Amino acid sequence: MDNFVLISHHDQTSQAPSDDDNVRWLWAAPGTVGQLDRRLKAENKAKKELLYRGFNGGALLLAMPTDEDLVILQKNLDAYRVFAIPELFEQKLSPAAQYFITSKLVTKLTGKSVAEMLEWLTERLYGGQTGIKLYTNAIEVAPTYHGRINYQGGTGVEIEDDFGDQFVPMFTWRWNMYVDPHRTLEYWPEYEKDAGIEVKLGIRQNVGYEDHPVTVFSEDELKQSVRISGIPGQSQMSATLYIKGRGKIKVGPLHYRWSRLGLGEFFPGGERIVDANRQEIDVYFNPGDLTPPLNIYFSGYRMAEGFEGFYMMRSFKKPFMLIADPRVEGGGFYVGSEELEERIIQKIYEKLDWLGFDHSQVITSGMSMGTFGAMYYGAQLGAHAIILSKPLASIGNIALNEGRQRFGGFPTSLDVLQANGPDQDPQHDGMTKAKAMNQKFWDVIDHADLTKTQFAVGYMEQDDYDTTAFRDLMRHIRQSHQRVHVISKSYPGHHGDMSAQLTSWFKQQYRTILREDF
């Protein structure tokens, strides 16, 4: 259940939409939020529910809450989920109100009636997140094409030809995309192409045997995620990529996810970083209590797209960023083009500047795949601390283990190597690519100033992904002749073992560093 609260002098929640049983709008006059909070907690206890989520949906302020109200709202509302009419910002605000507006990133909502505002927020501030992709193994090349097809693992399917001056349906994803009730889907196809090729995306609604028109999005429209509004819940959508012109085109996964209708990617406030090759990284920033440090968490391997670690990072009360990688199967280890990597660094500095912090007030962290991002970008930032659980460093070695140890151990590493290794020159064999991929990471570590960075590393003694990650990290630190503070703890088992124990240790390192250093 998503609980929303309307703060106003009169109860107007009857104007809220009533067609979604998972949404409830509650009313509180200024000065009565505490009573509402106690009532909800009593309901929660009576239902024997373990978690109390407060006003997890969001809030609309038509009147300014009292300072006593703000104490409760501060605890029970997340950033980006509070909206207010402009008149409230024109009042003389108490320090508590100013802090609330800043820390929750309260947004002005204008030009709408109360009913329109309630509906607008209900459509966008739903709970949860969902993102899925149709992988390259679902791509069907048109049978009319008789040329060479180059299947490049999970990164894409490539063809080259003169396709004529008229658009032709060339790539179809075999599986349909389900539309959940009360949700709108956004679509993002991955592709790279020569300048002589033009593309457009067709999306069709499939309902029984009814014939629905194809909604077509031009190449210019595809510079952003696209969506189709008004599709009824439980519909099935199918997609085809049309092309024309002459040259080479490589088509990758088709991403589809619940849309916030302009309020963010996955979460309210979520942002996308996209390079010229349509490769994407997602970022979420939460101001927390506005005091140092900025905690950054890189998501681990996730087949479902979206952010990881929200409740854990929020529990530390400090400003935090979540960084997610939706590419290939489970994520692309946060590496890519020079443009993509630079924009990740720029986004981190953008949030530091907003908070008034510097690079020494940053902690980067991650588990499994996320440890690569934590080390790779933490070293470049000169972070105060880098907290790691089950570190993975040498992607090239992980990929080589597919042949050395067992096939299918971590096949995503092969796609990462395919996407980021040297060019496709036949002389660049798998070993050459693997060494280059490893060197890309260790060059960053070797050239970083780590003298003011502390490492906390929990690792598996028999890790079967990157078998020497911790030892390699220690060796490179020693060879740099830098005095670096390292805390480590080993656990028996393979990479997928002891996850609960490592997570507990990981959180304890955060609490210790926050308590002792900040």
Helix, coil or strand: residue 514: helix
Q: Which tokens go with 92?
A: 């003389």
For 47-56, the CB contacts below 8 A with 24+ separation are 53/3, 54/3, 55/3, 55/4, 55/5, 55/26, 56/2, 56/3, 56/127
Instruction: Find the Cα–Cα–Cα–Cα dihedral 497, 503, 504, 508, rounded to 10°.
Output: 140
Give pLDDT, residue 424.
Answer: 52
- The answer on 95 and 64 residing in a single domain is yes
Residue 332 located in a structural domain: yes
Helix or strand or coil: residue 161?
strand
pLDDT at 483: 93
Spell out the residues 6+ positions from residue 164 whose beta carbon is closer than 8 angstroms to its own.
244
Domain count, the chain: 3
Rounded (5°) CA angle 230-223-249 = 110
Q: Print burial letters for 7-27: b (CB count within 10 Å at least 16), e (below 16).
A: bbeeebbebbeeeeeebbbbb
Structure tokens at 480: 């740099």
DSSP 8-state class, residue 30: T
Indicate whether 336 and 482 sit together in one domain.
yes
Residues of the chain below pLDDT 50: none
- State which residues form the domain around 120: 2-124
> Do 238 and 278 fall within a single domain?
no
Q: Tell me the pLDDT tens digit for each residue of 48-68.
A: 887 888 899 999 999 999 999
Q: Are residues 494 and 390 in the same domain?
A: yes
- Does one domain contain both 29 and 49? yes
CATH number, domain with residue 354: 3.40.50.1820
Residue 306 lies in a domain: yes
Select from 350, 377, 353 the least CA-distant residue to 363.
Answer: 377
Residues 6 and 81 in one domain: yes
pLDDT digits (tens, 9 = 90+) for 432-457: 889 999 999 999 999 999 999 999 99
Indicate whether 41 and 176 sit together in one domain. Answer: no
**Which residues pair with residue 237 across a beta bridge?**
177, 205
Does residue 287 share a domain with residue 249? no
Q: Is residue 280 part of a domain?
A: yes
Q: What is the pLDDT of residue 49?
A: 82
Nearest Cα neighbor of 325 from 382, 266, 269 is: 266
What are the backbone dihedrals phi and psi of residue 32, each rounded to the nearest 5 degrees, phi first? -120, 10
